[in-house]
A and B are shown apart, each in its own frame.
Chain A
Amino acid sequence: MTPVDFLLWVAYPYITLTIFVVGHIYRYNHDQFGWSAQSSQFLKTDPLLKWGSILFHYGVILVFFGHVGGILVPQGFYPMIGVTEEMYHFGAVWFGGAAGAAMVIGGALLTIRRLRNKRVSTNGSRKDLWVLLLIGIVTVVGFTNTAWYTATGGEFDYRDTIGPWFRGILTFRPMPEMLATAPWGFQAHVFTAFTLFAVWPFTRLVHVWSLPLEYIKRRYIIYRRANSKQTNKKAQ
């Protein structure tokens, strides 16, 4: 293991994850007003937004669960619930591929809209574009890896390497050697993804944490006291 490997696959992940966690706590406590999805649907409702946003968001949700299933859940778990290697690969290639494709196409449509629509480009921030670009790189690199290595039955198995490495990071038992030997495509995907984690708290991406699932349980009408303790606390 070279110092570069240590830097890339131990230090960098921990630095970026620290920024990710601390950044969110800081922003949540200091910038509730800026914490939003920053929808631009109001500026222009067009098919680019409709299909772009729907494909991208549903794609990204599936991709997230795909990563949970492929990286976070250990390989040994699947035989225990009766999922064979073939079944796993079939799911990874076809469902993962479809989700990745949806995300790439959706992201592309959103990027086109953001660049081409005068209203959106004028009023959107430069930061939004950088975030889109970063997500684009992470996605395209990850998607091509999935498509290429998995579909062609390449030698490299991310479930033996990247999976344990990632779980090692989360459990404070870093294993940089697991990634040091990975193909550069996977390395690039991991590196850019952690870069995205570092900028995440300071962008509109924070809206991910505001997915309003509590709405399902909530009653329709909300009453709030003007003089409630919360309001008073805020005013101070």
Chain B
Amino acid sequence: MKIKAQFGMVMNLDKCIGCHTCSVTCNNTWTNRPGAEYMWWNNVETKPGIGYPKEWENQEKNKGGWEMRNGKLSLKAGGKANKLLNLFYNPDMLDLDEYYEPWTYEYEHLVHSPEKNHQPVARPKSQLTGEYMDILWGPNWEDDLAGVHETGKRDPNMQGVDEKVKFEFEQAFMMYLPRICEHCVNPSCVSSCPSGAMYKREEDGIVLVDQDACRSWRFCMSGCPYKKVYFNWQTNKAEKCTFCFPKIENGDPTICSETCVGRIRYIGIVLYDADRVKEAASVPNDQDLYEAQLDLILDPNDPEVIAQAKKDGIPEDWIEAAQESPVYKLACEQKIALPLHPEYRTLPMVWYIPPLSPIVDAFNGHFNDLDPSVVFPAIDQFRIPIEYLANLMTAGDTELVASVLKKLVAMRTYMRSVDLGKEPDTTLIDEVGVSEQMARDMYELSAIAKYGDRYVIPKAHREQAEDMFAHQGSAGFDFMDGCESCAMNGEWKDPYEYSESYWSDVTGGAKDGRQ
């Protein structure tokens, strides 16, 4: 067992109002630069819809993520040799038009226009070419189902849902899906980068691009199934969500979380067993990936785990933070947060609490004193089809989604009985195996959602980076690599060393998943 800490996020979709504040503040912080105008490291999609970039979920076309090929975990787009052969032209890459052509408006014209019969207008101009352009697609083009009766049919999540019916006005449904980089435990972008410019941070699992090492081979972009690695067309380098690491290192939440008006986001760390990552990502059945991922995450209260974590160099305060982590509570204890598209096999670390939606006229407004036999079958009558949520979050496992929705309903029913001062009604929570304590915890975390409960972020231990004073006089003239062991508190490790042993093949020889 080798324990690592990993930052994760949970988004409670039940509370997302689709205001795009997260996108805007993220953009203001990170991407309002030349070459990055089109990037939305955080974007909010209206689902159903094809999203941003167009049809990002269609992996038959995009070839992102991993798949099981001949019983082995392999990059869907092909292994290493395949990448080198396609180095000069990436056949799976989406170009700018699949995102949108960034534009600005000719504002000066409003001021400088000569007198005319008609009022001057500010025409849109491409930021790529400076030419006038017609805006045919843009960020969030499908906001609140705009045009989705057309584009929605290309949403891969509609598989198994009665499309014809669901795009009819009376039956239409929608939900918001805010998306950032998943900071996966088994990132396919990192694995696809031929230059080794992408990496997971050893300390906190944040996935970053080393811009100095990026050589613009572009395989990270096509390798990421969530299409969350972007290409700066001015600098020709890859860029992506940084999980706002400068803020995180300081114990502050990411800018998207901090500014979320619905307070839907939770940030915390989880401890996981890095030795079993490949095993977890390699379970044969797509629908078992969720359980495998939960299984990979370790109980931070288990004395054995704590002891091992200390041995693996995880600081005391980080272990405490893992015990308080809202991500651990929501995903692993209460099991109400689900990963997005687990079937991509990247073990994503941004989790989603699926949204409840109006029940299509089943109870005539009487909700509280109902017994489970009436309420639970009605989950199927939620406006958002359960198959749709299942395609999004559980690789099609409708039972799993239903169990989460039931918990959410049961918690509400229970808390309502408590709030009304009645005898606490435990019928529903008993049915779904939620204790009274857990129901209250769920309520605290989702309804009260205090700042300190939503964000449990241990500060980075920068002070351990290089303790110069401690080693004063202990090392001689530092030439080239000098005294490696003493410069870093004796903790310095070759950055490649761990990954080497992690992916080493037990059966011998095979470095490419395909063999």
Contact = CB atoms under 8 A, between A and B. Distances in A.
B496 interface: yes
Interface in B167-197: 186-187, 190-191, 194-196
Contacts of B95: 41-45
A224 B495 contact: yes
Contacts of B203: 225-227
A35 B499 CA distance: 26
Interface in B89-136: 89-90, 93-97, 128-131
A190 B338 CA distance: 64
A193 B90 CA distance: 29
Contact of B499 (A44, A223, A229, A234): A223
A37 B216 contact: yes
Contact of A41 (B80, B89, B461, B465): B89
Contacts of A228: 488, 492-493, 495
A225 B201 contact: yes
Interface stretch (A47-55, A77-85, A140-148, A179-187): A47-55
A118 B129 contact: yes
B504 interface: yes
Nearest to B495: A224
Interface in A111-146: 118-119, 122-123
Interface string B460-481: 1110111000000000000000
Interface size band for A: 35 or more
Contacts of A220: 190-191, 499, 503, 513
A46 to B, nearest CB: 9
Interface stretch (B230-238, B325-333, B351-359, B362-370): B230-238
A224 B199 contact: yes
B84 A119 contact: no
B362 to A, nearest CB: 48
Nearest to B503: A219
Contacts of A36: 214-216, 236-237
Contact of A32 (B83, B213, B236): B213
B511 A223 contact: no
A217 B510 CA distance: 10
A223 B498 contact: yes
B236 to A, nearest CB: 4
Given A45-B95, A118-B131, A228-B492, A222 B196 contact: yes
Contact of B496 (A41, A43, A57, A222): A222
Given A44-B95, A226-B203, A122 B129 contact: yes
Interface stretch (A12-20, A165-173, A207-215): A207-215
Contacts of A232: 465-466
A222 B198 contact: yes
A42 B495 contact: no
B83 A215 contact: yes
B452 to A, nearest CB: 25
B465 A227 contact: yes
Contact of A217 (B186, B213, B231, B511): B511
Contacts of B186: 221
A52 B499 CA distance: 37
Contacts of A224: 199-202, 210, 495
A26 interface: no
A53 B200 CA distance: 32
B211 interface: yes
Contacts of B187: 221
15 contacts: A32-B213, A33-B237, A35-B215, A37-B216, A42-B95, A57-B88, A212-B195, A214-B196, A218-B496, A220-B503, A221-B502, A225-B203, A226-B201, A227-B461, A234-B212
Given A35-B212, A218-B196, A223-B502, 4 more contacts: A33-B212, A39-B236, A53-B88, A212-B84
| 10 A-B pairs closest in CB distance | A219-B503, A212-B194, A220-B191, A32-B212, A227-B465, A57-B88, A45-B95, A215-B194, A36-B216, A224-B199
